[in-house]
Amino acid sequence: MAETKEKSLSDEKPKPRVRPIVRLGIFLISHSFLVSIVCCTAGVLALFLLPVLAKNTYISENALMPGSASPMLSNQHVSDGNRLVKDLTNPNSKSSETGIESHKIIAQYMLDLGAEVSFHKFHPQMNQFHPLHFFSSPVSGKIQENYSCSSYGINTVGIIRAPRGDGKEAIVLVTPYNALKSGFGEALSLGIAYSVFSLLTQVTWLAKDIIWLVADSQYGEYAAVAAWLREYQTPKFSSLSTPNAEMCPDVNNLFELKGHSISGSKFSNSFRRAGTMAAALVLKVRDQNEQFEDTISIYAEASNGQMPNLDLINVVNYLAVHRQGLRVNVEKLWPLLNSSWLKSLGEIFESLAKVAKSLYPKWKFGIPATEYVEGTATLASSLYYQALGVPTGPHGAFRDYQVDAITLEISPKFSLDKVWRNDILLRGGRLIEGVIRSVNNLLEKFHQSFFLYLLTSPSKFVSVGVYMIAFALLIAPLPMVAASLYVDANSSSNCSKGDSSTPSAITDTDEHGIAIRSWSPTTSFMIWVLLSILSLLTLNSVLASPLACAKATQEKEWALVKSVTISSVFIGLGLMSVINFATAEIGALLMVPMCLLARPLKLDVRAGTLRSFCRLICNLVLGHIAFPPAAFFLLKGMLDGFGNANVGDFWMWVESLWAWNSATYLFIGMVQLPCWVLCVSILFHTC
Amino acid sequence: MEKVKKKIGSFSFWNWVTASIIFRLILIYFPKNLNLSSRPEVSTPLTSFRRLAEGYWLKQSFMSPYAGSMYHGSPLLLSLLGPLTINRIEGQPNHLLYSLVSVIADVVSAMLIRATGQNLRLAYLRSLESLDLVKQIEVSEFLFSGDIAALIYLCNPFTIVACVGLSTSPIENMAVILCLYGACSRLIPLAAFGWVIATHLSLYSAILIIPVIFLLGCGPDSPPRKLFLQRHQQKEVLNQSKLPPRFSWGPVIHFAFWAFLWSVYVLVLCGISLKQFGGLWEMFKSTYGFILTVEDLSPNIGVLWYFFAEVFEFFRNFFLIVFHVNILFMILPLAIRLRHRPCYLAFVYVAICSMLKSYPSVGDSALYLGLLGWFVNELADMQFSLFLFCGYVGVSLLSPVMHNLWIWRGTGNANFYFATAMVYACLQIVLVVEGVSAMLNHDRKLRNLITGKPQDAKS
């Protein structure tokens, strides 16, 4: 509007005095086509440059001092751990149906060390969807009414009170354990944790309490940890209101038995707490391993792409690599490792870097092509898991309470002899000990290092300041194009102003995911598609009034719709980039080209030039790709092969997003799908 | 912004009013999910419902309601609204009665806005008639600005949020609107009452006395008086009856008298209710003093909390003076420039106050955005309307997310949230600047139409 006026002025009169910033804006808007091409290309290019721009990690918090003390874990502790492993793998202990025996054994071991022990009984809780989770304070989970006594889990919790501490802080060590069908790996992880635990009861340097949580993973590792954390962080003051596990008779019997068999004052049936948690480590040992050396995998992604403080990963990485000689792994997208185009891209970057270095020796930014490919694969998986918004392990539950946590999965090269087992116990135990000792040194909670980052290897990261540039470049053309379209549309007509708002109102209906539980995913998906098309068409006929204006103004209507679409995409993407960057980045890659290119097909067909033909093709292709299910199939097909892609998969995927409270679900429903519908309505606009 | 709303005119006004009331009632029945009353955007230390309840409780237990720096509002609100904080109806949401009061306040405000808007529109048409510009400016296309303003006020998400979030700003806004309505319809006691109550509830409304004086002195908004003189010089007939009236002191003195009477009345009431608890001095200290010294630095959508959290203690007084004088500095130039449009002047003042206030909330924005609706016809050519609209939408969504990132997720920090506060302040500045320049351009356009110059001689 403003710019219209300026334009009409400049046609007739000598240039009026315009503020420089406005003039700059007008310049950008009038060249929006060029600007958008340049920005989008630069944005995509910058995304591919990220592995090159990644920096080496460094330990930012001085107090951590990893590896400054020599490990104290000795063979004595290791043999203690071995004893526990043996007892647990002993077939006698598995006789009980509920697996209570193994919990008893663990509790007895903990008590013998002089730790405080308690059991935590929980019911696996159904996930509830909180759509306003990102706009407001977290809502404490509502307690479900219908408990059944048949399904409950038991977490065993052991607490060592620190001799030097005031009991206000704690470090949590979690070992998921399924008593009913535990593999050898789980027993081994308990052994490692026990050996560390037995050491920590003796040391004098401990300043934070140690909580060892043996999480009952028969209903899932995450559920057990989340239930314990919920209980830990939100104490219930009235026990009258809700029935809980204590009221079930058989559970009580078991614990009475327990009371007889386990003597000692340190056992309690009530819930035990220590201080605020400084950090949490989840320890797992994998059963089978194909690799030839002992590796340790780090999983860090919590819900909605939240990451723990980078320092925690740094400490683990430093101690594992430099002290214990373990290989550290972070998740990679394996199919990308073999892609040839990525390799050639890496070679191009490498040769460019060489040229740059020959020009000016101080420019050192190149990395070898193989490293580039690996970095890209890691970055892609980092982006993917963050975008999914589903935590990659039980550590995700901690992040909801602002506790930094990671899962360490040790995959040893497999053999069954005792020496090997002792070796794993020793090295794993020393690693855990070192990390706990570092965290024990902390004076404040983790705050020095980054929270917003993407990993390209265990020792390399891209910080928020760098990856935001790529995103910003990608979405920068949106406001300009929106403004220029708005200006153009307004300069010719004033009548169609109001109409632009109606289509966006219609598309809101899309988000009603109609919950159809009993049918198969494929049927539900199909029914959802049909219903949403139906409701869309109905609402379109009821609400939209395309003939409200005169014929002449209709030509410009699509431009206004496009302008509204683009501005809402811009707002949506900007918002999403704050909530979950990875989703926004992937969404921007899909949607920005589609929104920018969208133009009624009829116009292009009528024009008949080569350029309009190209645009027609691009529009059709992008219109298909940007449809969320289609994009999902395409990605899945590219990664897993198209053979096993199934229509129902998308439904399952969306359901899992829903169940995990993922922001991506909201993004797809509120931003991507409506904007796709708007873009398609522009494509099929009758003008 | 008003463009989107233009279509509303074709719909039935009352349908929209009913819809907005029903929407509020629906939201009131689901308060737990939104938890709006604890949002920093909605409830500031001055408008928070929880603090009101706390103050009432303190008073019930024979303590000063201002003890412990919890409550900072008026003692009259305690007596009027306090009982509603504890009255519950079985089986209904906890604060149903209080919410209903806010809904009623909103509806009353909207009706007053509508009546004032109709007044303003009539005055505008009359002045166009006396300038013989009825033909050049297509009067038939004029929108019913009163209806539009009322609907903007009622349907604005900010208003709805402030109403459902149990803040006291609907009542403060109602007092301001009451004052403007009284001045526009020349109900002097009402205007004085509105002004006194508005000032009593939030100090910043005191500067509305200037537009009210202009309104009472020369009548509602009209093109500059100079134009009328020019017009009549052209015609060479000086028809006094068609000229707008000169400034008359009569109503102003009348207003001053009533304002004095009402303020004495309010102060006596406050004095009675605070007799045992330190009297009026205590009230001034913990209401006006609390506003002026910016004691509470908890985050809100303004910019002062961050600034005063950072500033060194020994500069604090200096900057307090600077920030408050900032508002005072703007009063005079704007009053001179916009003296012929007192209602618009009131809008600008309200907008500036809500920007530079020590504890702003979205309720304040709701007020000035509603008042903006009065000038739909005059501001039709305002610049950056799309930018402003998108900006308001974007900031109002981004700000809670940033707050969540900082407070609950712990991955962000105070700067994240403050950044949105700054963007919000910038948007308000752009709105005010562009609004004022659009209004001045409109006056120029009228002048050019009269003198017969081409329309865009100078803009």
A132 near B CB under 8 A: yes
Do A575 and B384 make contact, defined as CB atoms within 8 angstroms? Answer: no
**Rounded to a whole number, what is the distance in Å from the CA of A472 to chain B's nearest CA?**
16
B298 near A CB under 8 A: no
User: Which tokens is A538 given?
Assistant: 């109905």
User: Which tokens is A595 given?
Assistant: 């929104």
Q: Is there a single domain that holds both residue A207 and residue A78?
A: yes
- CA dihedral (A29, A33, A38, A39) in degrees, to 10, reads 50
Amino acid A3: pLDDT: 43
Which of A1, A452, A574 minimises the CB distance to B386? A1
Q: Is the pLDDT of residue B375 over 70?
A: yes
Amino acid A549: pLDDT: 47
The pLDDT confidence band at residue B1, using thresholds 50, 70 and 90, is: very low
pLDDT in tens, A548-557: 444 555 667 7
pLDDT in tens, B305-330: 999 998 998 999 999 999 889 888 88
pLDDT in tens, B82-122: 888 887 777 777 788 888 999 999 999 999 999 999 999 88
The pLDDT confidence band at residue B132, using thresholds 50, 70 and 90, is: confident
pLDDT in tens, B208-222: 999 999 999 888 888
Amino acid A509: pLDDT: 37
Helices (H), A295-417: 310-318, 334-337, 340-359, 369-388, 396-399
Q: Which among A578, A666, A670 is the top mutation candidate for probing chain B, defined by the most B β-carbons within 10 Å of its own β-carbon? A: A578
Beta-strand pair A404-411/A267-268: unpaired
Beta-strand pair A209-216/A276-285: unpaired
**Rounded to a whole number, what is the distance in Å from the CA of A229 to chain B's nearest CA?**
16
- CA dihedral (A529, A535, A538, A540) in degrees, to 10, reads -90
| Total domains present in chain A | 3
Q: Is the pLDDT of residue B194 over 90?
A: yes
Amino acid A245: pLDDT: 46
What share of chain A in percent tops pLDDT 70? Answer: 79
Amino acid B386: pLDDT: 84
Q: Is there a single domain that holds both residue A276 and residue A188?
A: yes
> Tokens 């003008």 — which residue?
A687
pLDDT in tens, A305-324: 889 999 999 999 999 998 88
Amino acid B141: pLDDT: 67
Domain assignment present for residue A450? The answer is yes
**Rounded to a whole number, what is the distance in Å from the CA of B296 to chain A's nearest CA?**
21
Domain assignment present for residue A423? The answer is yes
How many residue contacts between A and B have a Cβ separation below 8 Å? 88
Helices (H), A201-306: 221-233, 249-261
pLDDT in tens, A14-46: 455 677 888 888 888 888 888 889 999 999 999
Q: Is there a single domain that holds both residue A655 and residue A605?
A: yes
Stretch B396-408: mean pLDDT: 89
Amino acid B267: pLDDT: 93
Which of B39, B386, B394 minimises the CB distance to A136? B39
User: Which of the pair, A560 or B434, is modelled with greater confidence?
Assistant: B434
Amino acid A315: pLDDT: 92
Q: Is there a single domain that holds both residue A600 and residue A660?
A: yes
Q: Which residues of A touch B411 (CB under 8 A)?
A: 306-307, 451-452
Do B456 and A135 make contact, defined as CB atoms within 8 angstroms? Answer: no
Q: Is there a single domain that holds both residue A379 and residue A454?
A: no
What share of chain A in percent tops pLDDT 90? Answer: 19
Which of A8, A483, A574 minimises the CB distance to B394? A574
Q: Is there a single domain that holds both residue A319 and residue A361?
A: no
Interatomic CA distance for residues A641 and B127, integer angstroms:
75
Q: Is there a single domain that holds both residue A450 and residue A375?
A: no
User: Which tokens is A20 given?
Assistant: 């420089």
Amino acid A414: pLDDT: 66
Which of B383, B401, B456 minimises the CB distance to A135? B401
From start to end of B182-264, where are the E strands? none
Which of B384, B398, B407 minimises the CB distance to A575? B398
Domain assignment present for residue B416? The answer is yes
User: Which of the pair, A18 or B242, is modelled with greater confidence?
Assistant: A18
Q: CB–CB of A332/A374 below 8 Å?
A: yes
The pLDDT confidence band at residue B260, using thresholds 50, 70 and 90, is: very high
pLDDT in tens, A160-182: 998 877 888 999 999 998 877 77
Stretch A133-162: mean pLDDT: 66
Do B394 and A571 make contact, defined as CB atoms within 8 angstroms? Answer: yes
B401 near A CB under 8 A: yes
Q: Which residues pair with B5 in a beta bridge?
A: none
Q: Is the pLDDT of residue B176 over 90?
A: yes
Amino acid A239: pLDDT: 47
User: Chain B: residue nearest A136 by CA?
Assistant: B404
Interatomic CA distance for residues A239 and A365, integer angstroms:
61
pLDDT in tens, A314-355: 999 999 998 888 888 888 888 888 888 888 888 888 888 888
What share of chain B in percent tops pLDDT 90? Answer: 45
Q: Which residues pair with A327 in a beta bridge?
A: A295
Instruction: Find the domain containing A561 and state its range.
Output: 552-684
Q: Which residues of B touch A8 (CB under 8 A)?
A: 456
A670 near B CB under 8 A: no
Which of A402, A479, A570 minimises the CB distance to B409? A402
Stretch B283-297: mean pLDDT: 90
Q: Which among B384, B386, B459 is the top mutation candidate for probing chain A, defined by the most A β-carbons within 10 Å of its own β-carbon? A: B386
- What are the two backbone dihedrals, phi and then psi, of residue A79, each rounded to the nearest 5 degrees? -70, -30
Amino acid A376: pLDDT: 92
What is chain B's mean pLDDT, rounded?
A: 86
Range name among A122-126, A153-157, B186-190, B294-298 with the lowest pLDDT average: A122-126
| Total domains present in chain B | 1
- Look up the CATH number of the domain holding residue A109: 3.40.630.10
Q: Which residues of B touch A563 (CB under 8 A)?
A: 386
Domain assignment present for residue A46? The answer is no
pLDDT in tens, A363-392: 777 788 888 999 999 999 999 889 888 888
Q: CB–CB of A57/A460 below 8 Å?
A: yes
**Rounded to a whole number, what is the distance in Å from the CA of A2 to chain B's nearest CA?**
4
Q: Is there a single domain that holds both residue A164 and residue A220?
A: yes
Query: B172: closest CA among B424, B369, B361, B373?
Result: B361
**Rounded to a whole number, what is the distance in Å from the CA of A499 to chain B's nearest CA?**
8
Stretch A565-575: mean pLDDT: 92
Amino acid B288: pLDDT: 92
Stretch B417-423: mean pLDDT: 94
Amino acid B197: pLDDT: 94
Domain assignment present for residue A10? The answer is no
**Rounded to a whole number, what is the distance in Å from the CA of B91 to chain A's nearest CA?**
18
Which of B39, B386, B401 minimises the CB distance to A483? B386
Q: What is the DSSP string of A507-572?
A: HGGGG------SS-HHHHHHHHHHHHHHHHHHHHHHH--TTSS-HHHHHHHHHHHHHHHHHHHHHH
B39 near A CB under 8 A: yes
Which of B33, B393, B401 minimises the CB distance to A134? B401
Which of A8, A135, A498 minimises the CB distance to B6? A498
A653 near B CB under 8 A: no
**Rounded to a whole number, what is the distance in Å from the CA of B426 to chain A's nearest CA?**
14
SS3 A107: helix
Amino acid A553: pLDDT: 56
Beta-strand pair A327-330/A295-299: parallel
Q: For residue A463, what are the contacts with CB-CB under 8 A and spacing of at least 6?
A: A55, A450, A452, A453
A552 near B CB under 8 A: no
Range name among A592-596, B19-23, B379-383, B453-457 with the lowest pLDDT average: B453-457
Q: Which among B7, B402, B406 is the top mutation candidate for probing chain A, defined by the most A β-carbons within 10 Å of its own β-carbon? A: B7
**Rounded to a whole number, what is the distance in Å from the CA of B80 to chain A's nearest CA?**
31
Of the ranges A102-116, A495-509, B64-78, B193-207, which is most confident? Answer: B193-207
Q: Residue B188 CA to chain centroid, in angstroms?
A: 20
Query: B202: closest CA among B174, B225, B240?
Result: B174
- CA dihedral (A141, A143, A147, A152) in degrees, to 10, reads 40
Q: Is there a single domain that holds both residue A99 and residue A228?
A: yes
Do A579 and B401 make contact, defined as CB atoms within 8 angstroms? Answer: yes
Q: Residue B219 CA to chain centroid, in angstroms?
A: 20
Q: Which residues of B touch A307 (CB under 8 A)?
A: 411
Do A136 and B411 make contact, defined as CB atoms within 8 angstroms? Answer: no
Instruction: Find the domain containing B348 and state its range.
Output: 1-234+247-451
The strand order across the sheet containing A55-56 reads A55-56, A460-463, A453-457
Interatomic CA distance for residues A630 and A633, integer angstroms:
5
Burial group, residue B25, by CB count within 10 angstroms (0-12, 13-18, 19+): middle
Q: For residue A340, what are the contacts with CB-CB under 8 A and spacing of at least 6?
A: none
Burial group, residue B154, by CB count within 10 angstroms (0-12, 13-18, 19+): buried
Q: CB neighbours (10 Å) of residue A369?
A: 18
The pLDDT confidence band at residue A501, using thresholds 50, 70 and 90, is: very low
Amino acid A140: pLDDT: 46
Q: Which among B41, B382, B404, B406 is the top mutation candidate for probing chain A, defined by the most A β-carbons within 10 Å of its own β-carbon? A: B404
Last residue of a domain, one of A461, A496, A520: A461
Do B386 and A16 make contact, defined as CB atoms within 8 angstroms? Answer: no
B398 near A CB under 8 A: yes
Interatomic CA distance for residues B178 and B167, integer angstroms:
19
User: Chain B: residue nearest A133 by CA?
Assistant: B404
What is chain A's mean pLDDT, rounded?
A: 79
Q: Which residues of B touch A401 (CB under 8 A)?
A: none
Domain assignment present for residue B459? The answer is no
B445 near A CB under 8 A: no
Do B456 and A9 make contact, defined as CB atoms within 8 angstroms? Answer: yes
SS3 A632: helix
Q: Is the pLDDT of residue B401 over 80?
A: yes
Interatomic CA distance for residues A639 and A652, integer angstroms:
18
Amino acid B112: pLDDT: 94
Query: What is each CA distance from A218 to A121, A122, A153, A176, A289, in whole angstroms?
Result: 13, 12, 7, 9, 23
The pLDDT confidence band at residue B360, using thresholds 50, 70 and 90, is: very high
Q: Is there a single domain that holds both residue A209 and residue A95?
A: yes
Amino acid B263: pLDDT: 94
Q: CB–CB of A339/B444 below 8 Å?
A: no
**Rounded to a whole number, what is the distance in Å from the CA of A415 to chain B's nearest CA?**
42
B383 near A CB under 8 A: yes
- pTM (2 decimals)? 0.86
Which of A5, A139, A402 minimises the CB distance to B410? A402
Q: CB–CB of A75/A97 below 8 Å?
A: no
The pLDDT confidence band at residue A430, using thresholds 50, 70 and 90, is: very high
Domain assignment present for residue A279? The answer is yes
SS3 B146: helix
Domain assignment present for residue A299? The answer is yes
SS3 A120: strand
Amino acid B425: pLDDT: 94
Do B3 and A497 make contact, defined as CB atoms within 8 angstroms? Answer: yes
User: Chain B: residue nearest A17 by CA?
Assistant: B459
Query: What is each CA distance from A444 to A15, A61, A210, A278, B244, in whole angstroms?
Result: 60, 10, 17, 8, 70
Q: Is there a single domain that holds both residue A158 and residue A211?
A: yes
Q: For chain A, what percentages of helix, strand and coil (3-state, to nearest 5) are there?
A: 60, 10, 30
Q: Is there a single domain that holds both residue A318 and residue A408?
A: yes
Q: Using CB atoms and an 8 Å cut-off, which of residues 558-577 of chain A contact chain B?
A: 563, 567, 570-571, 574-575
Phi-psi map region of B279: left, alpha, beta (phi>0 left; psi -120 to 50 alpha): left
The interface pTM score, or ipTM, of the predicted complex is 0.85
User: Which of the pair, A539 or A320, is modelled with greater confidence?
Assistant: A320
pLDDT in tens, A55-82: 899 888 888 888 888 888 888 989 988 8
Amino acid A141: pLDDT: 45
Interatomic CA distance for residues B382 and A2, integer angstroms:
7
Interatomic CA distance for residues A171 and A656, integer angstroms:
31
Angle between helices B316-337 and B209-218 (to 10 degrees): 10
